[in-house]
Chain A
Amino acid sequence: MNTSIDIIMLVLIVTNLLLLGFSQLKSCIRTVACQGIALGVLSLLVNEDGFTVWSVVMSGVVIGLKGVIFPRLLLGALRETNARHEVEPYIGHMASTLAGFAALAASAWLCSRLPAFPGRVTPLVAPVAFFMVFVGLFVIVSRKKAISQILGYLVMENGMYVFGVVILREMPLLVDLAVLLDAFAAVLVMGVAVYHINRAFDHMDVDQLDTLKG
């Protein structure tokens, strides 16, 4: 069981690093979709009682939302706009990948200082969760396209989901579903917003939106 959780963790790390390295927005979206599917599998694996109906439903919902619906929405928004690449991010793709490694190391250090988590956890889980939150924040801060920012938000949310599903396993199903609904609403709103920003300004570069400030 622990081995399979660790494999998922590795998948998450790799997808994060890929996300930092890709410049094609389409590839970025697909990477995040892979991450979503990995999360769905993870929520199936961590269950101590084996496969119950609820855990299957839960993982189905997660895979459906994060693996299928979100990417569809975002790819749809991308099609409406004519942006294909993340051009000139504040931090280059190579440097971003290196920063990703640094973030991984920082998360590992941070988790070594934190008090031990309860429950059956492999030593990888907490650092990976932190790592995902950091990567999400990093993407939000360093990228200019609004779509990238949504992806950053999703990755951050995924990181919290890892925490929730593995470390705080007592979290009731209802809360999980509510969080998912939240994320869904947020992505929907942001997808629509991107579409409208693009329509109104003919671009979706967040760095050019500062003329709106009061």
Chain B
Amino acid sequence: MILSLISLAALMLGGVLVVLTKGAPVWSARAGVASAVAGCVCGCIAGFQALVGGRTESLEIPWSVPGGALHLALDPLSAVFLIPITGLGALCAIYGAAYFQGHRDAKGVALSWFHYNLLVASMIGVVLARNALLFLVAWETMALASFFLVSFEHGKATVRTAGWIYLIACHLGTAFLLALFAILGERAGSLDFAAMAQSGAALPASVSRWAFVLALLGFGTKAGYIPVHVWLPEAHPAAPSHVSALMSGVMIKTGIYGLLRMLACLGAPAPWWGWCLLGTGLVSGILGVLFALAQHDIKRLLAYHSVENIGIITIGLGVGCIGLSYGAQGVAVLGFAGALLHVLNHAVFKGLLFLGAGAVLHGAGTGDIDHLGGLLKRMPVTGVTFLIGSAAICGLPPLNGFVSEFLIYLGAFQGVASSPGVVVAACVAAIAGLALIGGLAAACFTKAFGVIFLGEPRSEHAVHPHPASRGMRVPMLALAAVCVLIGLSAPVVAPGLANAVAGAMNTPPGAARAGLNAAVSPLAWVVGVSAAGLALILVLAALRKRLLAARTVGAAGTWDCGYVRPTARMQYTASSFAQPVLDVFPLARGTRYRQVQPAGVLPAPVSFSTETKDLFRNRFYEPFFKRTAEVLSWFRRAQHGRVQLYVLYLALALIVLLVFGLK
């Protein structure tokens, strides 16, 4: 506990230091980065200690706020979230320092470190808090700190819009949480999570039903479930890249954490909860990846992939909950373990991909995929690490994304093999959904990596990008290494999660350990085979290098059937690559095609472009908020700007209240 407190203190003191020294922006920024890294390292160590040791350490200090207590605790479940928060927090801080190097707004950069430290500290606070009030304070601090980080470039109108959408979404989500904590706190007679968990077992179904729905909506807004995901594709592209990495990699996971923590407070899960989670996960996963496939902006594409991965995590949770409520313990353990491991893995590879996207953005000056190309030769480190991240996010062995998805698959197959009919149906749905998501993700990242890094530059931007500096390369390399490391050490990593899985399932760790140990031997097989494959590839690569060493390697134009003027613009573009896949799905109807067809013998210049807006934002949220604004604008008539009448309103209200009170 001491270490995590030191970590919080370092982050907060660092933040204060940043503000105090903002007169000297360079030193102020350095102080911010240094304290962020120091705090994160302490927190990360504390997380590993708690996860491996399996102990729960807690600290409770009375707080004068009614119903509140400064009750912090670090248990294995918190640790699973604390490790990526602090690990990615430190790496993103190092990256950010390099990313902001030479930025013209030195003062703004310095202040952004205050918000960065506050964001990391509040995320740590969220996973450590054991009192609803304290939790909400940390939760709101997190929302506000990230809002300021998202609006870093507030000079741009699009960034401001993104910031507002994010802020509104956050607060709508928190409104559900307030109701949830009010209901649970009223039942438990205390706002302490421990008291809530105790009274949870006796919760009548009519209450726990609504509490579950509120938790799903409130935490789901932060996590980015479809259809409450609309803030993600706006906020992630708007934020500086290291902030998007942190937000997408770990901040949205606090939604998953909250959901898990609250599930433990609601007693035994009803069967429909599992179905509901599974359905949410499938919808978010499939639609998320389809929307991603249709995007042309790299960061927006990655943002939609976050929706997809949150979907995968939730499929795991759904399988776990269904296993729990139908008494299939093994299925439940594997489902939860897969979900928790994917939380960790997604933080690693999505962090890596956003940092890579940032390097591309920083180097080439544009994030539009269709303007890039051929960057692998010009930015080799970024290219290779991005490739590793891409393979990991598609769930390909031997990388980490594969391991967590494999655990969920394993759980689902176990459910198919040994459970009653209903569970079989759920597990088949999960398997089919995961397979579809994996296939589409592979298509999407083939597109993203292929168009950005392979081929020839499509515009001036990509011809001479300046390569990533060392401060940017090191975090990317570290994350790529972690991707490989978790992938190859899966048989060790998976049983290590037993304590956390037991915490999420609210059961003693014995069952979880047994369930995960059963998964070790298939994991060892898979890892063995994929390691052999990897070794084979490395051997072949070495052989190729050796064979080519003595020969000259030249670059020449591709044979073009005799056409004499091929240009780089004849390559596949992002939209043309994705079109065949998208055409299969009805969602493609949401894509707007704008084209000028060539006509006549000597055609005028022609053009073609596609744009896929967010279906939910266009068809639901925008009309809804527009209508609400229309209705509420009626009240503007009372807002006429006459001071006298305002005073009259007040006076009348007070007099009416006085007279009313007399009766």
Residues on A lying within 8 angstroms of B by beta carbon are: 90, 110, 113-114, 137, 140-144, 149, 206-207, 209-213
Q: Do residues B641 and A141 form an inter-chain contact, with CB atoms below 8 A? A: no
Separation of A142 and B651 alpha carbons in the complex (Å): 13
| B647 and A141 form a contact (CB under 8 A) | yes
Hey, which chain A residues are within 8 Å of B609, CB to CB?
A: none
- Residues in B with CB closer than 8 Å to A149 are 643
Binary contact readout B631-656 vs A (1 if CB under 8 angstroms, 0 otherwise)? 00000000111111101100100000
| Given the contacts A110-B658, A110-B659, A137 and B639 also touching, CB distance less than 8 Å | no
User: In whole Å, how far is A6's beta carbon from the nearest beta carbon of chain B?
Assistant: 25
A140–B658 Cα distance when bound, in Å, is 20
Q: Is the CB of B662 within 8 A of A207?
A: no
Q: How far is the CB of B61 from chain A (nearest CB, A)?
A: 34
Find residues 594-643 in chain B having any chain A CB closer than 8 Å to their own CB: 639-643
Known: A110-B662, A209-B643. 19 other contacts (CB 8 A): A110-B659, A113-B662, A114-B662, A137-B647, A137-B651, A140-B644, A141-B644, A141-B645, A141-B647, A141-B648, A141-B651, A142-B644, A144-B644, A207-B642, A207-B644, A209-B641, A210-B640, A210-B642, A213-B641
Residues of A near B662 (CB, < 8 A) are: 110, 113-114
Q: Report B-chain residues with C-beta under 8 Å of the C-beta of A141.
A: 644-645, 647-648, 651
What are the 3 closest A-B residue pairs judged by CB atoms, nearest first?
A210-B641, A213-B641, A137-B651
Of A137, A143, A212, the most chain B CB neighbours within 10 A belong to A137
What are 7 inter-chain pairs, A to B, with CB distance below 8 A?
A: A90-B644, A110-B659, A140-B647, A141-B645, A211-B641, A212-B641, A213-B640
Q: In whole angstroms, what is the CA distance A206 to B643 when docked? A: 7
Q: Flag if A206 contacts B659 (CB, 8 Å).
A: no
With CB as the reference atom, state the residue of chain B lying closest to A115.
Answer: B662
In Å, the complex CA distance between A206 and B641 comes to 10
* Total of A-B residue pairs, C-beta within 8 Å: 35
Within the complex, the shortest CB–CB distance from B397 to chain A, in Å, comes to 58
Residues of B within 8 A of A207 (CB): 642, 644
CB distance from A193 to the nearest CB of B (A): 12
Counting chain A CB atoms within 10 Å of each CB, the highest count among B640, B645, B647, B662 belongs to B647
- Rounded to whole angstroms, the CA-CA distance of A209 and B639 in the bound complex is 13
Residues of B within 8 A of A143 (CB): 644
Question: Nearest Cβ in chain A — how far from B112, in angstroms?
Answer: 29
For residue B659, which residue of chain A has the nearest CB?
A110
* Nearest neighbor of B662 in chain A, beta-carbon distance: A113
Looking at the assembled complex, report how far the CB atom of A109 sits from the nearest CB atom of chain B, in whole angstroms. 10
- Measured in the bound complex, the distance between the Cα atoms of B639 and A142 in whole Å is 18
Complex Cα–Cα for A107 and B645 (A): 22
List chain A residues, Cβ under 8 A from B647: 137, 140-141
Determine the chain B residues whose CB is within 8 A of the CB of A90 once the complex forms: 644
- Residues of A contacting B643 with CB < 8 Å? 149, 206, 209
Whole-angstrom CA separation of A206 from B651 in the bound complex: 18
* Cα–Cα, bound, A210→B651 (Å): 20
Instruction: Give the Cβ gap from B137 to chain A, nearest Cβ, in Å.
Output: 31
Please report the C-alpha to C-alpha distance between residue A212 and residue B643 in the assembled complex, in whole angstroms. 11
Residues of A with C-beta under 8 A to B644? 90, 140-144, 206-207
Contacts of B648 in A (CB 8 A): 137, 141
Q: Which residues of A contact B642 (CB under 8 A)?
A: 206-207, 210
Closest chain-B Cβ to A51's Cβ sits at a distance in Å of: 36
A114 to B662, CA, bound (A): 7
Q: Which residues of B contact A206 (CB under 8 A)?
A: 642-644
**Which among B642, B648, B659 has the highest number of chain A CB atoms within 10 Å?**
B642
What residues on A are CB-neighbors of B645 within 8 Å? Answer: 141
> Which residues of chain B are within 8 angstroms of A212 by Cβ–Cβ distance?
641
A163 to chain B, nearest CB (A): 14
Q: A140's closest neighbor in chain B, by CB?
A: B647
A149 to B643, CA, bound (A): 10
Residue of A110, A141, A149, A209 most packed against chain B (CB within 10 A): A141
- Tell me the smallest distance from the CB of B660 to a CB of chain A, in Å: 12
Chain A residues within an 8 Å CB radius of B639: 213
CA A144 to CA B662, docked complex, whole Å = 33
Query: What is the bound-complex CA distance between A196 and B95, given in angstroms?
Result: 51
CB distance from A92 to the nearest CB of B (A): 15
Please give the distance in Å from A122's CB to the nearest CB on chain B. 22
Name which residue of chain B comes closest to A106, CB basis.
B655
A residues less than 8 Å from B640 (CB atoms): 210, 213
Give the residues in chain B near A137, CB-CB below 8 Å. Answer: 647-648, 651
Q: Which residues of chain B are within 8 angstroms of A210 by Cβ–Cβ distance?
A: 640-642
Bound Cα distance A213, B636 (Å): 11
Q: How far is the CB of A125 from chain B (nearest CB, A)?
A: 18
Alpha-carbon separation in the docked complex, A206 to B645 (Å): 11
Q: What 0/1 readout, one digit per residue, does chain B (174-206) give for beta carbons within 8 Å of chain A?
A: 000000000000000000000000000000000
Measured CA separation A212–B640 after assembly (Å): 10
Q: Could you tell me the distance in whole angstroms from the C-beta of A72 to the nearest C-beta in chain B?
A: 25
Give A113's nearest chain B residue, CB to CB: B662
Q: How far is the CA of A213 from the CA of B644 in the complex (A)?
A: 14
